[in-house]
């Protein structure tokens, strides 16, 4: 079965809409874990638009599965990660004003910077994951860096599968093939493979059936459903899909 990491950023988005103290990401993490998820993911953005430093500190003390901190490879974030010590740090590109993460890291062009950040995190006993597009050169660069995990960006497939055709150049089938080929390449290089971005109850199955992909990180869709049916049910329904053969 494919593991599920639940990204709870949007619980904090709702709280920050009023700059108040509810809903609490810590409570959401507890509920998601009780429903059976395998990990909790949060993205501490440089602009602190949703998750705050205090959330990360509290989650580090309360999460019983695994805490995955998504972060830009900046000095500030590396310092915070080294203090908080999440189980995994997923390095992502971050641009001011973006609605969500736009594409994967460019590990070829920014090799030295990303590699140095990964080494600083690994030195603090934090497993590093690189969020990258499903491209051969990116996987090869990640392999040269010696990182233990990559997270393949599933956005092109996800957008195409939901017929958001204006956003994508590939068909869903073509985008899925790229993800599969990248997962196989990374797996054969001994890199653990995660995936995520844009996945929903409707399109997740094709990705979860790729044997090399151990874990998927899903946020917006699960939290959206949770707003209507409750977090426990939303997480259980996603887990049920990931468990199907």
Tell me whether residue 86 or residue 198 sits nearer to ligand PXP (CB atom): 198
* Degrees, nearest 5: CA angle 235-77-185: 60
What residues numbered 110-169 form the site for ligand PXP, per CB under 6 A?
131, 151
DSSP secondary structure, 73-103, as one string? S-HHHHHHHHHH--SEEEE----TT-SS--S
Q: First vs last Cα of the chain: how many Å apart? A: 8
Nearest-angstrom CA–CA distance, 156 and 143 = 23
Nearer to ligand PXP, 7 or 161 (CB): 7
State yes or no: residue 100 binds ligand PXP (CB under 6 A): yes
Q: Catalytic one among 10, 38, 50, 197?
A: 197
**To 10 degrees, the CA torsion angle through 146, 196, 34, 44?**
70
197 among known catalytic residues: yes
Residue 224 within binding range of ligand PXP, rule CB under 6 A = no
Q: Which of residues 25-54 bind ligand PXP (CB under 6 A)?
A: 43
Which member of 198, 203, 210, 212 binds ligand PXP (CB under 6 A)? 198
Catalytic residue among 33, 70, 94, 135: 70
Kindly list the residues in this chain that would bind ligand PXP in the complex (CB under 6 A): 7, 9, 43, 70, 90, 92, 100-101, 131, 151, 196-199, 217-221
């Amino acid at each position: 079965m494919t593991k599920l990491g639940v990204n709870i950023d949007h619980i904090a988005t709702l709280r920050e809409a009023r700059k108040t103290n509810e809903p609490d990401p810590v409570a959401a993490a507890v509920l998601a874990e009780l429903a059976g998820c395998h990990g909790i993911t949060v993205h501490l953005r440089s602009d602190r638009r949703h998750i705050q430093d205090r959330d990360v500190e509290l989650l580090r003390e309360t999460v019983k599965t695994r805490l995955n901190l998504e972060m830009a490879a900046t000095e500030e974030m590396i310092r915070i990660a080294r203090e908080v010590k999440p189980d995994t740090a997923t390095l992502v590109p971050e641009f001011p004003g973006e609605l969500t993460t736009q594409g994967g890291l460019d590990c070829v062009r920014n090799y030295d910077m990303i590699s140095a950040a990964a080494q600083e995190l690994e030195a603090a006993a934090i497993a590093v994951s690189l969020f990258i597009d499903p491209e051969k050169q990116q996987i090869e660069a990640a392999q040269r860096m010696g990182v233990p995990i990559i997270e393949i960006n599933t956005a092109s497939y996800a957008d195409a599968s939901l017929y958001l055709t204006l956003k994508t150049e590939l068909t869903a089938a073509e985008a899925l093939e790229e993800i599969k080929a990248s997962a196989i390449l990374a797996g054969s290089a001994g890199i653990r493979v995660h995936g995520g971005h844009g996945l929903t109850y409707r399109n997740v199955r094709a990705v979860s059936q790729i044997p090399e992909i151990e874990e998927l990180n899903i946020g917006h869709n699960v939290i959206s459903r949770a707003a209507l049916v409750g977090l426990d049910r939303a997480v259980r329904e996603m887990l049920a899909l990931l468990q199907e053969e």
